[in-house]
Structure 1
Amino acid sequence: MSSTEAKTSRAEWGSRFGFLMAMIGAMVGVGNIWRFPFVVGENGGGAFVVAFLVLLFLLAIPGLIAEVALGRYTGKGVIGAFRDVVGPGGLVGLGVVVVLVNVGLMSYYSPLIGWTLYYAIHSFLFTFTSAGFQAEPFFDAFLANPALTVGMHTVIMGLVAAVLLLGIRRGVERIVVYAVPALVLSLAIIAVRGLTLDGATEGLVFVFSVEWGALFESGTWIEALGQALFSTGLGWGIALTIGSYLREYDDVPLGGGVFTALGDASVGILATFAVFPIVYAFGVQPDAGAGLTFVSLVQIFPELAGGALLAIVFFVGFFLAAFTSGVLITEVGVTTIAEETRLSRNGTVLAVCGAIWLLGLPSALSADVLDYVDAVFASWGLPLATLAIITVIGWKLGPERLRVLSVNQNAGVYVGPWWNGLVKYLIPAVMVFIMAYYAYDNFGTPEMIGGMVVLVAFPVVGYALMWYLEGRSEPASADGVPGAGGDD
């Protein structure tokens, strides 16, 4: 790898709308449509929503602003951005940690996107409204068929590669500007239909009635925090990568922070509007867990007037949400590795997508493996990546420097000095708490063991790799390195 300038001129988003849709498309995915409704159902409804919104605005917005601003400030992918801040040497390995977590995440996310594609295809075949259809045996049969699960995983990575081969403007931006509005429209159609059903208001009462006592339970806040991180993608390197393609006059606080968080929360709440009125109208348990979308909800479509068309609308929207996130998750590795190696962009796309496909085979072959990897990366991998990015910004570059030079550059929403403390102290403290809590709560479990491997192995591998490739064990002097050694 090299610290020299990128081989080619850097692409930019073609419009502010394209940038905003890329941010929303990256953050809105399975976490909003599949995970958010059932986590709300399992954690008491309105109390969880309140906790989620508090943490979204307290942590996610400041963190996303910081990550997008770092991308624009350096104009580079994850590893290049870290090198600009800490100087060449082993500490650049923190950027490698983010890339490793990102690739690990996509390795099991791709098979999950394959599930949504499989259901979208069957919605067009009117499978869910056919005579004798049974939702649970259908889902179990799909998961038990390796040809189907691996096949869907393979198709997804092929489609992701096809989009990325077209580049930022012609590929990524072109799909998100259509896919994200289509997703919102599909959820709105389902929500409107659901609200017309008898008993639908009970679903809204469940979601928006707050049991204040639940807000004093640690489990509510832990789950809400996990959802805020999972659904916004804070610290995954996605916002940094998207920010690196920003034009000089784009607005970071409004677009990269406030708009994205509001959009993410809105889609999650819209998904609850789409799911819970229907769930309550037909007497399905709201705490049905991960099977709420793929099993419980599917059973309802035959009972709905126009259920066949509503199934198409729902699962096409579900697939679009998952797929756009997958494209932008993969772009993190593509951007970074293309800059750090002699590979062309096309060669990098094929290499990264091929590696993710190979790493994703175990998750494609076994839902139990997928669940295990998800538990490891959601509980330890993602907080580790977030901690790496926020620590570099808060304790090496300095939030005050980033705030003045990038965050408030051409900003319509001014970010004051209060932001510095959130980035430097609060967010890192919360990340450490998450990992410590899960280590305590899951002591001795296979998930904890896997988490400890990630926490130890990824930083060691990252540091050793960059120390070896860059030929030094200590970071270089800050002289000539943009932003290195800064503080607030």
Structure 2
Amino acid sequence: MSTDTKTARAEWGTRFGFLMAMIGAMVGAGNVWRFPFVMGQNGGGAFIVAFVTLLFFIAVPGLIAETAFGRYTKKGVIGSFREVLGPGGAVGLGVVVVMVNIALMSYYSPLIGWTMYYAGHSLLFSFTSAGFEAEAFMNAFFANSALMIGLHTVVMATVAAVLLLGIKRGVERIVVVAVPAMVISLFIMVIRGITLPGATEGLAFAFSIDWVYLTYSSTWIEALGQALFSTGLGWGIALTVGSYLREYDDVPLGGGVFTAIGESSIGILAALAIFPIIFAVGVEPDAGAGLAFVSLVQVFPEIPLGGVIGIMFFGGFFLATFTSGLVITEVTVTTISEETRLSRRGTVLTVCTGIWALGLPSAYSVDFLDFVDVTFANWGLPLATLCILFAIGWVMGPERLRHLAVNRNAGIHIGSWWDPVVKYLTPTLLVFIMGYFAYDQFGSDVMIAGMVVLVAFPVAGYAIMSVADGGRQTSTAVDAPGGDD
């Protein structure tokens, strides 16, 4: 019998706080920035059909599983894996998830710095000033390495300050204000955009469906990548947020359906905020990654109240990225604080300092940031997702988790159809995405870096936990309470 002493664990103060934490974590640059330009490159309304279909049939079951896993174990990532796998090297799969999160945040922090910089200049009405040139502005900003590093430093210092306040007083207080404010800012943009002459073409692009795009494999691959990666499935975020749930909170509703609705709604809202405006002034909808930082910025001087619209967009953009970064960092903070003797204060400072140091190359060089982003988006994140789905689907078992945690106090009852989706369908599709990307990028630097991640991270995780858990007694994987609740 385990003699580990369990201390009282923090919980979300309200259900609304839990829901906003889930939405705040999942909704970030992938929704406000990436969703519109990927949608623009893949047929507009047709992409939305593919995205929403895959979101609800694939990502939602996975999010429910991960949230319930955290609720069941009431532990961070590594502790949850140990609960299922028993102590030893196999718990290194949990270390892989933490390592991927740290790597992700190391380059996401500089990106938050970009949105902070643009939000600041929107308040100064720089984008509507005489002689402003969007591309020259962006290039000058990216060339100023000292400024980029300074913004990265400010972001991580601010994240640390919020996390030092804890779950209720820090994270929850921020997300319950930031997420609604972000939605309101986008909604105001939508209202302004649809009143512009020519905006109906943007609405037609967003809502009309060119069915031929649904016959293209690229549309479905892009939609699946957006559905899985923009929700943060398998990053340990839903697991960590779920570990702070109260006993009577509803996992399927909050951790799955509501998150998916919020995720898809904000992405579509961002598209509706952008496309009517850019169509009104003749900008192409498939402008790519520069849609927000170059193309949209060029639009603001051309429309009435463009300066105010710029504040609305970049203010919401900053809030979206910052809340995501906050909860992403909390994944590592929760896990490290449980696995070491460090206090929460010591853990927050250690983790944030480490992420800051690892993020310096990405802050210094945009090219380096782009490289690690592609590497971890296509290799690191799927690897982390597969680690979590392996623990749930193949070790603990989805049926057991469904009885013990998913359907506990749930208003929406999840049936047995969920089990094979979590165990077989979602992992198969993830492997397919990775295989397709490997085929497409065969021999490239990104593929080589991806192979290094796929091999080095699990090996490092196994070695770390073999040493860390060396003194523990091997135990049975899961000691489930008697009877199904």
Q: TM-score, normalised by structure 2?
A: 0.97
Corresponding letter in the other structure for 1:476:
T
Is contact 1:397–1:483 with CA below 8 Å preserved after alignment?
no
CA distance in 1 between counterparts of 2:395 and 2:245 reads 23
Is contact 1:85–1:483 with CA below 8 Å preserved after alignment?
no
| Structure 1 partner of 2:479 | 482
Question: What's the secondary structure of 1:414's corresponding residue?
Answer: coil
CA distance in 1 between counterparts of 2:38 and 2:227 reads 12
Q: Establish whether residue 142 from structure 1 lines up as the match of residue 141 from structure 2.
A: yes
Corresponding letter in the other structure for 2:474:
A
| Structure 1 partner of 2:451 | 452
Q: How does 1:122-137 map to 2 (within 5 A)?
A: 122-137=121-136
Corresponding letter in the other structure for 2:381:
L
Is contact 1:73–1:406 with CA below 8 Å preserved after alignment?
yes
Per-residue Cα deviation, 1:342-381 (whole angstroms, up to 9, x for no partner): 1111111011111111111111111111111010000011
| Structure 2 partner of 1:234 | 233
Is contact 1:123–1:308 with CA below 8 Å preserved after alignment?
yes
Q: How does 1:82-101 map to 2 (within 5 A)?
A: 82-101=81-100
Is contact 1:6–1:339 with CA below 8 Å preserved after alignment?
no
CA distance in 2 between counterparts of 1:420 and 1:433 reads 20
CA distance in 2 between counterparts of 1:249 and 1:410 reads 6
- 206-215 or 460-469, larger mean C-alpha shift: 206-215
Q: Establish whether residue 220 from structure 1 lines up as the match of residue 222 from structure 2.
A: no
CA distance in 2 between counterparts of 1:33 and 1:353 reads 25
Question: What's the secondary structure of 1:297's corresponding residue?
Answer: helix
Corresponding letter in the other structure for 1:76:
K
CA distance in 2 between counterparts of 1:95 and 1:317 reads 33
Q: Establish whether residue 255 from structure 1 lines up as the match of residue 247 from structure 2.
A: no
Is contact 1:186–1:313 with CA below 8 Å preserved after alignment?
yes
Corresponding letter in the other structure for 2:420:
G
Per-residue Cα deviation, 1:108-146 (whole angstroms, up to 9, x for no partner): 100000000000111111111111111110000000001
Q: Establish whether residue 206 from structure 1 lines up as the match of residue 210 from structure 2.
A: no
Corresponding letter in the other structure for 1:30:
A
CA distance in 2 between counterparts of 1:36 and 1:215 reads 17
CA distance in 2 between counterparts of 1:385 and 1:225 reads 16
What is the total number of aligned residue pairs between the two structures? 480
| Structure 2 partner of 1:376 | 375
Corresponding letter in the other structure for 2:198:
G
Corresponding letter in the other structure for 1:95:
G
Deviation at 1:244, TM superposition (A): 0.2
Is contact 1:90–1:472 with CA below 8 Å preserved after alignment?
no
Q: How does 1:11-410 map to 2 (within 5 A)?
A: 11-410=10-409
CA distance in 1 between counterparts of 2:4 and 2:147 reads 43
CA distance in 2 between counterparts of 1:314 and 1:207 reads 18
| Structure 1 partner of 2:419 | 420
CA distance in 2 between counterparts of 1:408 and 1:58 reads 18
CA distance in 2 between counterparts of 1:136 and 1:81 reads 47
CA distance in 2 between counterparts of 1:172 and 1:382 reads 24
CA distance in 2 between counterparts of 1:11 and 1:32 reads 29
Question: What's the secondary structure of 1:352's corresponding residue?
Answer: helix
Is contact 1:46–1:209 with CA below 8 Å preserved after alignment?
yes
Question: What's the secondary structure of 2:288's corresponding residue?
Answer: coil
CA distance in 2 between counterparts of 1:7 and 1:130 reads 59
Question: What's the secondary structure of 1:342's corresponding residue?
Answer: coil
Question: What's the secondary structure of 1:290's corresponding residue?
Answer: helix
Deviation at 1:7, TM superposition (A): 6.7
CA distance in 1 between counterparts of 2:81 and 2:237 reads 14
Deviation at 1:476, TM superposition (A): 3.0
Per-residue Cα deviation, 1:252-279 (whole angstroms, up to 9, x for no partner): 0000000000000000000001000001
| Structure 2 partner of 1:433 | 432
Per-residue Cα deviation, 1:31-78 (whole angstroms, up to 9, x for no partner): 000000000111121221111111101111000000000000000000
CA distance in 2 between counterparts of 1:308 and 1:421 reads 51
CA distance in 2 between counterparts of 1:4 and 1:458 reads 31
- 7-16 or 279-288, larger mean C-alpha shift: 7-16
Cα 1:362–1:6 change in 2 (3 A) is farther
CA distance in 1 between counterparts of 2:37 and 2:77 reads 33
CA distance in 1 between counterparts of 2:47 and 2:370 reads 23
Deviation at 1:433, TM superposition (A): 1.1
Deviation at 1:472, TM superposition (A): 7.6
- 61-70 or 228-237, larger mean C-alpha shift: 228-237
Cα 1:331–1:276 change in 2 (3 A) is same
CA distance in 1 between counterparts of 2:42 and 2:327 reads 30
RMSD (Å), alpha carbons: 1.5
Per-residue Cα deviation, 1:284-324 (whole angstroms, up to 9, x for no partner): 11111111001110111112211112211111111000000
Deviation at 1:5, TM superposition (A): 4.6
Per-residue Cα deviation, 1:391-446 (whole angstroms, up to 9, x for no partner): 11000000010000100000000000100010011011111111111111111000
CA distance in 2 between counterparts of 1:14 and 1:101 reads 29
Per-residue Cα deviation, 1:229-264 (whole angstroms, up to 9, x for no partner): 221110010000000000000000000000000000
Per-residue Cα deviation, 1:140-184 (whole angstroms, up to 9, x for no partner): 000000111111111100110000000000000000000000000
CA distance in 1 between counterparts of 2:110 and 2:3 reads 36
Corresponding letter in the other structure for 2:117:
Y
Structure 1, unaligned runs of 5 or more: none
Identity among equivalent pairs (%): 71
Question: What's the secondary structure of 2:342's corresponding residue?
Answer: coil
Q: TM-score, normalised by structure 1?
A: 0.96
Deviation at 1:8, TM superposition (A): 3.9
- 303-312 or 241-250, larger mean C-alpha shift: 303-312
Cα 1:421–1:139 change in 2 (3 A) is same
Corresponding letter in the other structure for 1:411:
A
Is contact 1:89–1:472 with CA below 8 Å preserved after alignment?
no
CA distance in 1 between counterparts of 2:240 and 2:469 reads 22
- 288-297 or 39-48, larger mean C-alpha shift: 39-48
CA distance in 2 between counterparts of 1:66 and 1:138 reads 44
Deviation at 1:226, TM superposition (A): 1.1
CA distance in 2 between counterparts of 1:446 and 1:337 reads 32
Deviation at 1:201, TM superposition (A): 1.1
